[in-house]
Amino acid sequence: MNLRVIGANLVVDIKSFYREKTAVFFRIAFPVILILVFGTIFMDKDDLSFDLCVQDLDQTKSSAQLVQTLTGSDRFKITTIAPDLNAAQYAKDHKLNLILGIPAGFEKSLMQKMIIADPDASFALTVVYDPSASAVTTKMQVLDAMLAVANQKLSGKPPFLHLVKTSILAKKYRFIEFFIPGIIAMAVMTSCLFGAVNVNAELRQKGVLRKLATTPITHTDWILSNILYQFLLAALATVVILLVSYAVFHVRLQINAWLPVFVVLDVFAFVGFGMILTRVAREAESAAAAANAFMFPMMFLSGTFFPVEMMPGFLQKFARILPLYYVNEGLRASMVSADNTAALGYAAVIGVFAAVVFVLGIMTTTLNEDRT
C-alpha cells in the first residue's frame, strides 16, 4: 500500500467528481430531490387532518358545542357554511367532497333524551358527500368513530370492549422517517455501482488502465483508492441527506454506530458487485446497462420507497434475496426502531454478501489488458 499513490488517485477522483455536473446531480442532488418530493407528498398523510365543512341548521348552544367538539379533536379542520344555503349545491360549486349537516331540532331532541332518559331516542345528522372522491371513506370512518365517542359520553356508560394500543416501534414514526434510511441505502448503492462500473469499464475501454499498468501503481492501491473515494462520496451523500431531512422535515432518527457500519457494508457490497459486472460485461455501455438492470428492480422491490410488507407474498420472498433489502432493513432497525438485535442480524447477512462479492471483485479486476 502506497499512501502517496492513493492520495494522487483521490485528488483526481475528487476533482473529476466536482467538475462533472451530472455526477454531482445524480449522486447528491437526486436523492435530496427524492426526499423533498416524497416527503412533501406524504407529509399530509402523517398529520391525518381533514377538511370538514359543517352546516348548522339548528343554530343552538348544543349544536355549537357539537361543532366545537369536532374542532377540538384536531382530526378536522372545520369550516362552517350559512344555514340558508343548499348544501348539495354548495358542495358542487366549491368542490367539497363532504358536508356534515346538523338539522334543526337537534337541541330539542337532545334535551328530550337527557330529561326523559329515553333509551330509544335518536337523532339523525346528515352527510352530503361525493362518493367519487377518494378521501371521503376515510373521512366518514373518522367521523363515525368520533360520533361513537360522543354517543358513549352521552349515555354515560364506559364501553365494555376497548383496545389498548402498544406500538412495536419505540415511538410513532412518520413516513419520512421510514423513507430516509431507504434513500441513504439507495444513494450509496447507485453511487458505488456506477462508480465501480465507470472506473473499471470506461477507463479500461479508453486505455487509461493500460497506461496505469506501466506505472508503479499496484492493483491493491488502485482498488483501495476507489473504495476510499466511494466512502467519501457515500459519507457526503449520507450527511447531505440527513441534513436536509432534519432541516426540512424535522425527522427524529437514531444516529448511532450502526449508520456508518451499514454505509460501509453498502459500499463494499456494491463496489464489489460493480467490479464483477464490469468483468462480465466488458464494454462500458453494456456494463452500465447491466448495472441499471440490477439497480431498478432492487430499488423498487427491496423496500426503498415503501415497506416490503405491502407487496404480494412472492415478491416479499423475492425481496429477501436482494442485498439492498438487508441494508434498508438494517438501517431502519437502527435508525427508526433502535433495535440492535435486528440490526445485527441484517448486518451479518449484508456483511457476508459484501465480503464474498468484494473478494470476487478484487479477483476479477486487473489493470492489465488480458489475463491469458
Q: Are 332 and 302 in contact (CB under 8 A)?
A: no
Distance CA 238, CA 303 (A): 18
Reported residue count of the chain is 372
Under the binding rule (CB under 8 A), the answer on residue 22 touching another protein is no
Under the binding rule (CB under 8 A), the answer on residue 15 touching another protein is yes
Under the binding rule (CB under 8 A), the answer on residue 7 touching another protein is yes
Q: How near is the Cβ of 371 to another protein at its closest, in Å?
A: 7
Under the binding rule (CB under 8 A), the answer on residue 1 touching another protein is no
Q: How near is the Cβ of 4 to another protein at its closest, in Å?
A: 6
- CA 292 from chain centre, in angstroms, equals 21
Q: How near is the Cβ of 22 to another protein at its closest, in Å?
A: 11
| Contacts for 81-90: CB closer than 8 Å, 24+ residues apart | 81/53, 81/54, 81/55, 82/55, 83/55, 83/56, 83/57, 83/59, 85/55, 87/55, 87/126, 87/128, 88/128, 90/55
Q: Are 109 and 123 in contact (CB under 8 A)?
A: yes
φ, ψ for residue 304, nearest 5 deg: -75, -45
Selected range binding another protein among 6-14, 121-129, 139-147, 250-258, rule: CB under 8 A: 6-14
Q: How near is the Cβ of 15 to another protein at its closest, in Å?
A: 6
Choice between 121 and 208, CB closer to another protein: 208
Q: Are 334 and 309 in contact (CB under 8 A)?
A: no
Q: How near is the Cβ of 271 to another protein at its closest, in Å?
A: 19
Selected range binding another protein among 4-12, 135-143, 148-156, 265-273, rule: CB under 8 A: 4-12
Under the binding rule (CB under 8 A), the answer on residue 282 touching another protein is no
Under the binding rule (CB under 8 A), the answer on residue 95 touching another protein is no
Partners of 80 in the β-ladder? 54
| Contacts for 132-135: CB closer than 8 Å, 24+ residues apart | 133/97, 133/98, 135/50, 135/97
Q: How near is the Cβ of 175 to another protein at its closest, in Å?
A: 38
Q: How near is the Cβ of 24 to another protein at its closest, in Å?
A: 12
Give the total of residues touching another protein (CB under 8 A).
Answer: 27
Q: Are 354 and 227 in contact (CB under 8 A)?
A: no
Map grid coordinates 424535522 to a residue.
250
Q: How near is the Cβ of 14 to another protein at its closest, in Å?
A: 10
Element (H, E) at 259: helix 258-280
Residues 191-250 that bind another protein (CB under 8 A): 203, 206-208, 210-217
φ, ψ for residue 334, nearest 5 deg: -85, -40
Choice between 208 and 352, CB closer to another protein: 208
What residue type is 210 in one-letter code? R
Element (H, E) at 129: strand 126-129
Find the binder of another protein among 166, 167, 341, 372 (CB under 8 A). 372
Question: Among residues 115, 19, 70, 35, which one has the least CA distance to residue 305?
Answer: 35
Find the binder of another protein among 1, 4, 159, 163 (CB under 8 A). 4
Find the binder of another protein among 12, 41, 239, 243 (CB under 8 A). 12
Distance CA 78, CA 70 (A): 8
Site map (CB under 8 A) of another protein, residues 155-194, x = contact: ----------------------------------------
Choice between 185 and 199, CB closer to another protein: 199
Choice between 285 and 369, CB closer to another protein: 369
Q: How near is the Cβ of 226 to another protein at its closest, in Å?
A: 13
Choice between 7 and 72, CB closer to another protein: 7
Q: Interface residues with another protein (CB under 8 A)?
A: 4-5, 7-8, 11-12, 15-16, 19-20, 203, 206-208, 210-217, 368-372
